[in-house]
Structure 1
Amino acid sequence: MEFHPQPEPGEARPWAFPAPERATLDNGLTVLRCHRPGQQVVAVEVLLDSPLDAEPAGLDGVATIMARAFSEGTDKHSAEDFAAELERCGATFDAHADHPGVRLSLEVPVSRLPKALGLLADALRAPAFDDSEVERLVRNRLDEIPHETANPARRAAKELSRRLFPADSRMSRPRQGTEETVEGIDASAVRAFYEKHVRPATATVVVVGDLAATDLDAILADTLGAWTGDTAPARPAPPISADDTGRVVIVDRPGAVQTQLLIGRIGADRHDRVWPAQVLGTYCLGGTLTSRLDRVLREEKGYTYGVRAFGQVLRSTAPSAEGSTGGAAMLAISGSVDTGSTGPALGDLWQVLRTLAADGLTDAERDVAVQNLVGVAPLKYETAAAVASTLAEQVEQGLPDDYQGRLYQRLADTGTVESTAAVVSAFPVDRLVTVLVGDAEQIAEPVRALGIGEVSVVTG
């Protein structure tokens, strides 16, 4: 029997995160373009300087309704016609609002880019904001809220934000609004928010794909370049403050067979020099199936299907002259355990954190984290959409265009000692707010016995 020779691996090719080219249109719109040979589906991201903290008092959620209404008709197309035109282009369109602002996302074959960008420009230039369409979007949003409240993970996230941030901070309240605030939103409120905060001079568009045979300058001039608006100074970002006094909040769900846990505080964002070490240390703690938390809580004890530790930037801005960034990241541990194991699981979790502080990470753990985070980067950024999304995040967070490329080098250069110090600082055992969504009657006393903070119970 003859066998084919085993294939030999080819020579590794150098890879770096692509750097964009910058330009500014006559209307003040900032453009970032990135040519990616072979990417025939072009990804477009538009960032609008309309953050959640700009929403009028009592109208939390108006940014979300505005974002959703961009696809519900323009001065040229009804809502149905707009959707049909997108479909004819083979394009997908989405929009959402978050703390940094509103983001619109478009993906389209490069051959249909002029038409799709024309539709996107119409949506930004002259959205219809029809009364009936806005009313429908408000009703849809109101229908979503009870489902979110019933979801243990969403309920835990809502409670953690409410407990961490001051009541007058927008970050303490649900991103997409509450029933009380959404009910007060109408088309006039959406138009007023649009007119006050949406203009090309404070917006950025990111275009990524195979642009070799495309006159992008001409296309942009004919589409987004026709969008007009006045200029306005950049909005100062309010400072972020949080109370991370160690405590436990139980959201009571009588009869629940599982407890959803979310443990968090705020910490350094991407502008802080500790960020790469914090990323590595957090990954070693709970970023994968081989992390410390999973090794103990899943593999050894069988409490859970998985527990994850992560850092999520809430809002980030470039440092001021005084060195303050006005930004922060949510540092959190999340997962679920069966009700009877809630107390023991939390006890073991705290023991993992204490052991980490006492003994530190190992070189092997650090090496696996670098391999998984840096080694898979070329696969992570195979699509134009992935590159465009990361470039958009850099713009939102006031980071330089080469930040992501330099981050991978910094991750590779970060040692075990630095990673240990960063993760221990990120998750101090006495400065964590713990939210548990579960049966308070069964879990309250075992949790109190742990002594990890004052325990309070709220209705679910």
Structure 2
Amino acid sequence: MEFHPRPAGGQARPWAFPAPERGTLPNGLTVLHCHRPGQQVVAVEVNLVAPLAAEPQDVEGVATIMARALSEGTDRHSAEEFAAELERCGATWDAHADHPGVRVSLEVPASRLTQALGLLADALRVPAFPEGEVSRLVANRLDEIPHELANPARRAAIALSAELFPAASRLSRPRQGSEETVKRIDAAAVRAFYAAHVRPATATAVVVGDLTGIDLRAALGDTLGAWTGAAAEARPMAPTTADDTGRVVIVDRPGAVQTQLLISRLGADRHDAVWPAQVLGVYCLGGTLTSRLDRVLREEKGYTYGVRAYTQVLQSDGADGGAALLGISGSVATEVTGPALADLWQVLRTLAAEGLTDAERDFAVQNLVGVAPLRYETAAAVAATLADQVEQFLPDDYQARLYARLAETGTVEATAAAVNAFPEDRLVTVLVGDAARIAEPVRALGIGEVTVLSGS
């Protein structure tokens, strides 16, 4: 019997994160574009410098409502007509607000890019913000809030922000506003926020995909290039500060069968030279199912389905840097909350005493660097990362250099960064669970003063 020869793996091809080309339209709009042959679905990301810190405190959440309302009608299309036109283009649309600003995302087949850019330009240039649509979006947001408060992970995140950051900081309050502030938002508030902060001179558009046969400059000039607005100076960002004195906050959920854990502090962001080592060390600690935290808490003890350690950039204060949230999150059964926390702290102590192994470091590098070509297989993934770099005041080649630095980072550097990221006496721990059952075991651990809050 004769068989075909077994396929063999080919030679690995060199890969680097795509380098964009940068330009500026006459109206001041910054444009980054990246030609990706074969990517017939083009991704467009627009960064609007409308940070949450700019929201009037009595209507916090207005940035989120504005972002959602951008596609709810223009001077040429009603909300229904705008949705229908997007569908005719085969385009998908998303918009959201976060601490750095508002992000609008569009994906569309390359053959219909110009039409979709026209719709995007209308939404940014002349949004209608109709009273009825804004009222509907406000009602929808008010309906979401009770569901978020009922979700243990979201409730923990809200409690952590209030505990970690100063009360005067926007970072201390819910990103999409509270019930008290959202219910005050109306169309006039949305229009005022738009008029104060949305303009081409401070915005950036990122376009990624197969641009063969597309005169991108002409397409942008006829669409986003028609957007006008006053020039504006960059809005200064206040330095990010936090109190990471070791302590425990329990959000009481009587009868809860699980305890949600969120352990966090403020750390270095992408501008800091330690970032590559920090990413690598935190990944070894809790970035995957084979990490140290999972090996102990999930595989050996059976306390949880999974615990993760992560780094999350909050906002950049400018070209000199900003801050990132360093966190450990997961959930455990109520009755093992004390033992699980004790073992978690022991993992941190062991890491400080013994360090990471070369095998752990090598596995992390392979997962972070080796799979990067797959991670950035789509135009949307590339565009989103380039837009992140813009938000965080990073150079265009940052991501490409980051992978090179990750590959060069040694075990000793990664260990030091992970230990510094989670010092056992400088962590704010939030637990959402049954306080009557978990408070005393947690106090006995001596990991900080324990405060119990009502979960209502």
1:47-446 aligned at under 5 Å gives the runs 47-320=47-320, 325=321, 327-446=322-441
Q: Which whole-Å CA distance do the structure 2 matches of 1:292 and 1:227 have between them?
A: 52
- Counterpart of 1:21 in structure 2 is 21
After superposing the two structures, state which structure 1 stretch, 225-234 or 309-318, moved more.
309-318
- TM-score, normalised to structure 2, is 0.99
What's the RMSD between the two structures over aligned residues? 0.6
How far does residue 58 in structure 1 lie from its aligned partner after superposition?
1.1
Q: Which whole-Å CA distance do the structure 2 matches of 1:248 and 1:364 have between them?
A: 34
How far does residue 57 in structure 1 lie from its aligned partner after superposition?
2.0
SS in 2 for 1:58: helix
Q: Which whole-Å CA distance do the structure 2 matches of 1:355 and 1:316 have between them?
A: 33
SS in 2 for 1:161: helix
Contact 2:42 2:110 in 1 (8 A): yes
The residue type paired with residue 149 of structure 2 is: T
Q: Which whole-Å CA distance do the structure 1 matches of 2:241 and 2:180 have between them?
A: 25
Q: Which whole-Å CA distance do the structure 1 matches of 2:416 and 2:337 have between them?
A: 28
Q: Which whole-Å CA distance do the structure 2 matches of 1:382 and 1:304 have between them?
A: 33
Contact 2:252 2:453 in 1 (8 A): yes
Unaligned stretches of 5+ in structure 1? none
SS in 1 for 2:57: coil
How far does residue 27 in structure 1 lie from its aligned partner after superposition?
0.2
SS in 1 for 2:260: strand
SS in 2 for 1:248: strand
Q: Which whole-Å CA distance do the structure 2 matches of 1:47 and 1:365 have between them?
A: 37
Contact 2:239 2:317 in 1 (8 A): no
Q: Which whole-Å CA distance do the structure 2 matches of 1:113 and 1:319 have between them?
A: 32
1:388 and 1:205, CA in 2 relative to 1: closer, same or farther beyond 3 A? same
TM-superposition CA deviations, 1:282-321 (whole Å, max 9, x none): 000000000000000000000000000000000024444x
Q: Which whole-Å CA distance do the structure 2 matches of 1:112 and 1:212 have between them?
A: 13
How far does residue 143 in structure 1 lie from its aligned partner after superposition?
0.2
The residue type paired with residue 356 of structure 1 is: L
Q: Extract structure 1 runs of 4+ deviating beyond 4 A.
A: none
Q: Which whole-Å CA distance do the structure 2 matches of 1:100 and 1:411 have between them?
A: 26
TM-superposition CA deviations, 1:308-365 (whole Å, max 9, x none): 0000000024444xxxx2x100000000000001000000000000000011000000
SS in 2 for 1:302: coil
Q: Which whole-Å CA distance do the structure 1 matches of 2:237 and 2:362 have between them?
A: 37
Percent of paired sites with the same residue:
80
How far does residue 2 in structure 1 lie from its aligned partner after superposition?
3.1
Q: Which whole-Å CA distance do the structure 2 matches of 1:240 and 1:452 have between them?
A: 25
SS in 1 for 2:350: helix
Contact 2:315 2:323 in 1 (8 A): yes
Q: Which whole-Å CA distance do the structure 2 matches of 1:173 and 1:3 have between them?
A: 66
TM-superposition CA deviations, 1:90-115 (whole Å, max 9, x none): 00001000000000000000001011
How far does residue 213 in structure 1 lie from its aligned partner after superposition?
1.1
Number of aligned residues: 455
- TM-score, normalised to structure 1, is 0.98
Q: Which whole-Å CA distance do the structure 2 matches of 1:399 and 1:280 have between them?
A: 20
Contact 2:319 2:394 in 1 (8 A): no
